[in-house]
Homo-oligomer: A and B are copies of this chain.
Amino acid sequence: VPVATIKYYLREGLLPPGELTAPNQASYTSLHVRRLRLVRVLREVGELPIDAIRRVVAAIDEPGRSPHEVVGVAHHALGPVPAGPAGPELDEVDALLDRLGWEVSPQAPARAQLAAALSSLRTLGRDVDVEVFRPYAQAADRLAREELARLPLDGSADELVEQAVVGTVVFESALVALRRLAQEHHSARRHGAGRREGGPHPS
């Protein structure tokens, strides 16, 4: 990591200062190294703006915050937080969540995000019910369950939170990438444009 990057992160309050060992030298611990990794991944993989990273890091460091609360803060920071309620669609999303038996915060921005997606489908003239999302909910449920099962039960709160936050950013990115690859694959099969023709991308 370039020194300029570390200095920038220090200046922005994303890394705690090291211990001064000489007027122009500071000593850093493995905690600093771990935090530096987290900040870089949030920045480069999650593409979070600096102030969002600052909020996530502050939540991790705040005493008394449960890992569950920090996951909520991270979801807020990761955005998007839709501007306003989507009206009747929000009630339909709530009804779906109830039927699924999911316990989620009434303030979770993902609820409004889902309502906005439903509203968009209708704006586009698709006559759909909120149940159109059930296959996605079932896939998400399975994946979330597996992700959490991978976390060590005996880790520190810091580790748990860091892994949950990074897992969200990294596996979300992986899931979106795989969905597009799968769509490209099935689209190629359906429309008969195989690899031999050079693929779907213009040169």
Contacts and interface: CB of A to CB of B under 8 A. Distances in A.
Interface of A: 37-38, 40-41, 44-45, 47, 66-69, 71-73, 75-76, 78, 80, 97, 102-108, 110-111, 113-114, 116-118, 120-121, 123-125, 133, 135-137, 139-148, 163-164, 166, 168, 170-191, 193-195, 198-202
Main SS at interface, chain A: helix
A97 B66 CA distance: 39
A71 B147 contact: no
10 contacts: A37-B124, A66-B200, A72-B201, A73-B200, A102-B182, A104-B199, A105-B184, A108-B184, A114-B174, A133-B174
B143 A108 contact: no
Contacts of A75: 180, 184
A76 B184 CA distance: 12
**Which residue of A45, A179, A183 has the most chain B CB atoms within 10 A of its CB atom?**
A183
A117 B171 contact: yes
Given A80-B47, A103-B194, A116-B45, A140 B71 contact: no
Given A103-B194, A193-B66, A140 B45 contact: no
B178 A137 contact: yes
Nearest to A102: B185
A68 B193 contact: yes
A23 to B, nearest CB: 32
Contacts of A188: 68, 103-104
A180 B117 CA distance: 15
B144 A186 contact: yes
Contacts of A147: 183
